[in-house]
Amino acid sequence: MIDPFGRAITYLRVSVTDRCDLRCVYCMAEDMTFLPRGALLDLEELDRLCAAFIRLGTRKIRLTGGEPLVRRGVMTLFRSLGARLGHGLDELSVTTNASQLARFAGDLAAAGVKRVNVSLDTLDAGKFTSITRWGRLERVLEGIFAARDAGLAVKINTVAVRGLNEDEIDSLLAWCGEQGFDLCLIEIMPMGEIDASRSEQYLPLSLVRSRLARHWTLTESAYHSGGPARYFDVAETGRRIGFITPMSHNFCESCNRVRLTCTGTLYMCLGQDTSSDLRAVLRSGADEAALEEAIRAAVARKPKGHDFLIAAPGESSGLAGEAPPAVARHMNVTGG
């Protein structure tokens, strides 16, 4: 599928649930309300939609959420998608907070998953609990090591948050080097109302990179994951560090992805509201040809880029009562 701006759409991210066992401060409000279970597509419906995408040229599928590993029975979906590897699908992966990974790492590897992205913003147990509101670092580390032991390549995703983990980026980079993991830093995006100010949380990665350059030799890498990250080789560790900078450097021109929510809404862009209700199509009794046509028609409406903007401290920040966030839905709905 080629969108109106000439971009080949080959990557589907699927948020299999909006629920999560954590409440990261930049992602969710503490008192989030979640979708009623009845609103969700069942796992067979998700599999059928993914199969239609694969027939239309999707080569890579990532399951995310919310926390994908808290969805009951999710391994059934991993297994059915895994069976499509080599039959149109080249890669099946997952983004997880790792809280359930110790339990599932072996099953994921058996289903054909080769790599996992784990979100980890700090190595300080107290800070971890305050960022996630109640998570336990120890459990997450157990999950990460179980993944490595199961033969999965682990990439650590860290959201850079002003005043929260900005003093820890060096130690995270060193730790990833010791453990054999790549690290990818992400800028805060203004998605959904939360309990804090985005402008106070926002830390430009250009600043983080120049701070890192004092202690580390970073050389622009030829490696490209096909995603929005720009990678650098870290001479001291032999690993890579990636920077995802939606705010300070727009990467939309090379976007290859669309995002499906657990209710079957297809979002053409993380930072725009353009969407298509594929659940309605699915449940109207549509055959495979009609389903594919609905997906094609949706991709034909993919916007050029996102509208994210974070005000400078002291200006409007996207809090309730101030200017609304660029996108009203939270990250757990569309899947980060």
Residues that bind ligand SAM (CB under 6 A): 20, 26-27, 64-65, 67, 95-97, 119, 157, 159, 186, 188-189, 191, 331-332, 335-336
- 191 makes contact with ligand SF4 (CB under 6 A): no
Give 169 or 234: the residue with its C-beta nearer to ligand SF4: 169
- Name the residue among 243, 251, 245, 94 with its Cα closest to residue 169: 243
Options 23-31, 83-91, 216-224, 240-248: segment touching ligand SF4 (CB under 6 A):
23-31
* Phi-psi group of 264: left, alpha or beta (phi > 0 → left; psi -120 to 50 → alpha; rest → beta): left
Give 83 or 123: the residue with its C-beta nearer to ligand SAM: 123
- 22 makes contact with ligand SF4 (CB under 6 A): yes
Q: Give the nearest distance from C-beta 8 to ligand SF4 in angstroms.
A: 28
Q: What three-state secondary structure class fits 294?
A: helix
Binding track, positions 122-161, relative to ligand SF4; x by CB under 6 A: ----------------------------------------
Give 66 or 242: the residue with its C-beta nearer to ligand SF4: 66
- 27 makes contact with ligand SF4 (CB under 6 A): yes
Give 96 or 265: the residue with its C-beta nearer to ligand SF4: 96
| Cα distance between residue 294 and residue 102, in whole Å | 38
157 binds, among ligand SF4, ligand SAM, none (CB under 5 to 8 A by kind): ligand SAM
- 201 makes contact with ligand SF4 (CB under 6 A): no
Candidates 67, 198, 242, 271; binder of ligand SF4 (CB under 6 A) is 67
Give 195 or 236: the residue with its C-beta nearer to ligand SAM: 195
- Name the residue among 63, 59, 89 with its Cα closest to residue 76: 63
23 binds, among ligand SAM, ligand SF4, none (CB under 5 to 8 A by kind): ligand SF4
Instruction: Tally the C-alpha atoms within 13 A of residue 336's C-alpha that lie toward its C-beta.
Output: 28
Helix (H) or strand (E) holding 335: none
Q: Give the nearest distance from C-beta 86 to ligand SAM in angstroms.
A: 26
Give 20 or 294: the residue with its C-beta nearer to ligand SAM: 20
In contact, 182 and 144? CB cutoff 8 Å: no
Other Cβ atoms closer than 10 A to 38: 5
- 119 makes contact with ligand SF4 (CB under 6 A): yes
φ and ψ at residue 309, rounded to 5 degrees: -150, 130
Q: Give the nearest distance from C-beta 137 to ligand SAM in angstroms.
A: 14
Q: Give the nearest distance from C-beta 188 to ligand SF4 in angstroms.
A: 11
Strand ranges (E), 7-130: 11-15, 60-64, 91-96, 115-119
Helix (H) or strand (E) holding 256: none
Strand ranges (E), 199-332: 218-220, 230-234, 240-244, 257-260, 265-267, 275-277
Q: What three-state secondary structure class fits 104?
A: helix
Pairing of strands 265-267, 275-277: antiparallel
Which residue has the closest beta carbon to ligand SAM?
336
Task: Write the CB contacts of 95 (distance below 8 Å, at least 6 apart in sequence).
Answer: 62, 63, 64, 65, 68, 116, 117, 118, 119, 157, 335, 336
